Structure formats: structure tokens, C-alpha cells
Amino acid sequence: MNPMEALDTNNEILPGAKGKADLLWRTSRNDNENREHHGKPGTCFTHCDFSSIYSKDLLPDPAGEEPTNRFLQALVQILLTHVNSTFDRTSKVLDFHHPHQLKEGLEGFSLELPDRPENLEQLLVDCRDTLKYGVKTGHPRFFNQLSSGLDIIGMAGEWLTSAANTNIFTFEISPVFILMEEVLLKKLREKVGWPPVEGDGVFCPGGSMSNLYSILLARYSYFPEVKMHGMAVIPRLALFTSEHSHYSIRKAAGVLGIGIENVFLVKCDERGKMITSELKSGIIRAKAKGLVPFYINATAGTTVYGAFDPLNEIAEICERHGLWMHVDAAWGGGLLMSRKHAGKLQGIERASSVTWNPHKMMGVPLQCSVILMRQKGLLQDCNQLCAEYLFQPDKHYDVAYDTGDKSIQCGRHVDVFKLWLMWKAKGSEGFGSQVNQCLENADYLFNKLENRADFELVFKNKPEHSNVCFWYIPHSLRKMSRGLEWNKKLHEVAPKIKTKMMEEGMVMVGYQPLGEKPNFFRCVFSNPATTREDVDFLVDEITRLGQDL
Ligand code: ABU
């Protein structure tokens, strides 16, 4: 795209644009008239000539304040346009292009990096194009991932975090954020049901990392010598997780040198819950082979089915065998915010550690994930190396607040502020209602599909979380007798529909096979902007796109 041209959110050239000197924006796709804008919603924002202004002209240049203000206001206008179109149901969820098309450069949008600086006008166009060719994960019709939605307060929190641009390892450079982290970790532990004054935790980049921490901590608690001397000085370990659990448990076992083959996948029932009798016999078998079981992961909200493992039964097994109980509540943890649904995690309070991703069900902008520990001090003992250039013991404040040595990272992004700000904005109750609404949408979809001949539900009992898994059965398959051939054909249906869906871009939902089951759709709700009409739209779209298959 030529940076001299001004585009609206559909990348159409606006009639009022005056070439290189002017960039004009409309705030939303519905704002059809090209009006002058002075910061009021729905009107054009500004005439700005950025064509001879470069990044060197911005702050810290002595005369940089005014161009910096104008540049950032122009950028904010682009972001507001994106925000408005995200919530505009007539706008697309995505404008799909293949990797090679994006690499070749679309309408002048080039990913290649120049040797000579580009002016701010070009940078603004690049910003806008980056959003244009991305996916609007906050769109009410984006059902593709566990993390979705665009929380305005959360986004504001992320902007502030970026402006503060600090590292959350020491109190001396992150005094406020470190204390916020303490407040939030305590609050989340309270929700888990642990005594709030004890316990520990750390924000880390995603659920996989949180799960890795849990295995690291469990191993250290039984075999502290491993920190200094490695795996050679400890027995061959075994850990257990369900066949429906997240792959990060196996990955972590590989990363930590425990070995993927020493992760035992426990069978699940039809609903995707761990069968505890299988767990018991698995532990006995592993012991008989000379392995040392030490850790069980129970999942609260599996990735595909949204199933909850029987936490109390698993806790009993852990207590009987002296094993570490971890609960991966990356997805299900959000339900603890809802009085109506928190009971589905009964038994979580018996765990030694918990993974929880506020960036999933609580709608906090990515990333926001925690590992919570029941025992205080273990994180510090396990990970600390006392780097003297950061963690000087003779600082003039209480160095217990230099929490960075608990982490396996050195530099750590501040993920807490957006969650803290959202909590202030909604209260615990606001998060609870959000969760309730998402689960009501899941119920609505489940009930709707239950009564349709052209859809089939993958599991027949009501969703416990907001996952609804289903097949679309095209006309050609409805009368065909079931068997291998039928399964093979059904396996191709979801990918074909998804291809058309992404090319048209009006809605987005994921699919996957699971075990012997051919590809099926998994619809998940975590966006409070989604309504029943959006659910109806999804079902109608799948029907329309799949009717000729
Ligand atoms: N555990 C990562 C999230 C996967 C998903 O969104 O489907």
C-alpha cells in the first residue's frame, strides 16, 4: 500500500485524503462519512503530515514533544479504529492471506527491513497493515482459541505496562508492580482455597511454563540434590497425567531431563476425565518396574473437552502414595471466580501447586499466567542463584521484595498490572458474571445442536466448561452407513469447512481429531462480547459452508 494514501478499516482509499501530506482515519467501518476529526468519536481525527518526520525527530529530541504527541495520537487513532472494528459484527474476523502472499508484500506492506530510515507516515501505515492482516481475536465471532476477547481496561493496562517499560525482578526498579504481584498471588491463592498468608507463586509466560515450574518444584521438594548434581544422583522418576491433559506436561519432562517416556498417560472416560483406578494401577506398575513416582497432574478444564478430573479422588491417591499433586487449571481456574461454577474444582485446595491462566477464561490480554504454590519458600530455594549484580543483600530496603530470584527467568515482563487494573474495574463479581455468561453461551450451543440432525455432539452430557465439541454431518454422509469409510469422509469435513471459513473471514472456530475420533469442531467461549446471535451465526455459517460436501 502506498503510504501517501489514506485508508479506512477496509483499506479503501478515503475520498478526502490529500496525498502524502494527509492521513485521515475513520473510527469505524460504520462511520461512512469522511468527516474532520478532532478527537471526538466517530469523526476524522487529524490532518498530519508525517512524510518528512522520522523517529529521530521524536523525543528525546529537544523539539520532539509536539511530534511525539501527534504521532502517538495518530497511532491511538489507528488502535481505536481496530478496537471499534473488532466489536463491529459486520467487519471480518480475519482477512486471510497465505504466508507466501504476506512475504511477497501485499499492497506495499513489506516485512523486509530497510537500511535507510522510513518516515513516520510509513510506520503508521505499517502499524495499520499489521492489524489489518492479523486476526481480530477480540471479535465476538472468534471461537478459535481458549484466549479471546479484547478487554479495554486490560488493554489500557498493557499500554501502561509498556510505557513503564520495566523489569519485574527487583523492588528497586519495580516497586509498585512487585507489590501488585504479591497482592494478586495472595488473592488467587485465596480463590484456590489455601490459607492466604502462606504460599507462594510467580507470574510466568504461559501455562506451559507454569506447568514446567510445577514439575521442577515437585522434583526439588523430593530431591533437592538435583539442583546441584543433576539427574545422575537421583532415581528414575515417573509422573502421571491424563491422556487428555495438555502436552506441556510431556514437554516439560523432556526439558527437565526426566524423559518423555517416563510420563505415564492415564486413560480417561468418555467425558475426558481421568479414570482414577487406571491411575492407581499405573502407579503400582511403575513402582514394580523400579521407577519412583513423584508427581501427578490433574487437569481442571482440559484443552479440547473442557473436562475436570476428579480432584478429590486424585488428592487421596497422592496423599496415600506421598506424591505431589499439581492441578493444571490454566483453562478451568477462571471458574473459581464464579459462585455458580467454582464447585467444579472441588479438591483443588488439596493440591501442592496450581497453574492458572487469567489470559484465558478471565479475558486478561495475553500473556497472564501464574504458578501458585501452597508451600512458601520452595520457589526461592529451588531457583535462587543470588546473582550479585541484581540481588545485593545489603540494599537499604527489605530485599525479600526482590522476588526475581524465584523465577527461572532473569528478565521478566510485567504481566500483573493489566490483571490488577481489570480486577479493580470489575471486582471479583464482574469476573464471575463474565464466566457465567460464557458458560451460558456454551449451554445454548449444546442445546441447539442436540436437537439438530445435521450436527452430532462428541460428548453427550452437558458441557462442564465452555467447550462444545461437535461434528457437522453433511448431506452426503447422513444416509451412508457408519464405519471406517464414513469416519474417513467425516475426518475431511471440518478442515474443508474451516478453509472456506477462513477465506471468507466472518467467523473462526477450531477443529482437531482426538484419539480415534475423526476431526471435530471445538467451540470455546471466553469472550464476554459473544451473544446468542453470534452462536446462531456460527451454526448457520457451518451449515452454509458445509451443505455441498
Ligand atoms: N493451552 C494453550 C491454549 C490452546 C488453545 O487455545 O486451544
Rounded distance from Cα 366 to ligand 1 centre (Å): 12
CB 236 within 8 A of CB 195: no
Atom of ligand 1 at shortest distance to CA of 248?
A: 1
Distance in Å, CA 145 to ligand 1 centroid? 6
- Rg of the chain (C-alpha set): 26
Q: How far is the CA of 517 from the centre of ligand 1 (A)?
A: 19
Ligand 1 pocket test target in 143, 146, 209, 357 with most atoms within 8 Å of CB: 146
Best CA proximity match to 499, nearest among 468, 538, 542, 533: 542
Helices and strands (H and E) in the chain: how many: 15, 12
Atom of ligand 1 nearest to the CA of 510: 7
Q: Helices 416-450 and 175-192, interaxial angle, to 10°?
A: 40
Mutation choice for ligand 1 from 303, 438, 512, CB with most ligand atoms inside 8 A? 303
For the Cβ of 246 lying below 6 angstroms from any atom of ligand 1, the answer is yes
Of all atoms in ligand 1, which is nearest to the CA of residue 330? Answer: 1
Taking 70 as the pLDDT cut, the residues of the chain under it are: 1-47
Q: Grid coordinates standing for 255?
A: 526439558
Regarding beta strands 237-242 and 263-266, do their DSSP bridges make them parallel or antiparallel, or are they unpaired? parallel
d(CA 368, CA 154): 11
Residue nearest to atom 7 of ligand 1 (CA): 145
> What number of other Cβ atoms are within 10 A of residue 159's Cβ?
15
pTM of the full structure:
0.92
Quote the pLDDT of residue 198.
87
Helix axes 484-504, 532-546, angle to 10 degrees: 120
Our CA angle for 198, 202, 203, nearest 5°, is 140
Q: Is the CB of 360 under 6 A from ligand 1?
A: no
List beta partners, residue 246. Answer: none
Give residue 281 CA to ligand 1 midpoint distance, Å: 30
In this structure, the strands spanning 200-204 and 369-373 are: antiparallel
Alpha carbons 463 and 442: distance in angstroms, whole number: 7
Give the Cα separation of 152 and 196 in Å (integer).
30
Task: Give the span between the Cα atoms of 403 and 294, in whole angstroms.
Answer: 27
Cα–Cα dist 144/510, whole Å: 5
**Strand segments (E) across 140-254:** 142-143, 200-204, 237-242
**Cis before 145? omega within 30:** no
Residue with cell 490459607: 195
Q: Is 145 in the pocket of ligand 1 (CB under 6 A)?
A: yes
Ligand 1 midpoint to CA 265 (Å): 19
Q: How far is CA 355 from CA 211, 331, 385, in A?
A: 6, 9, 24
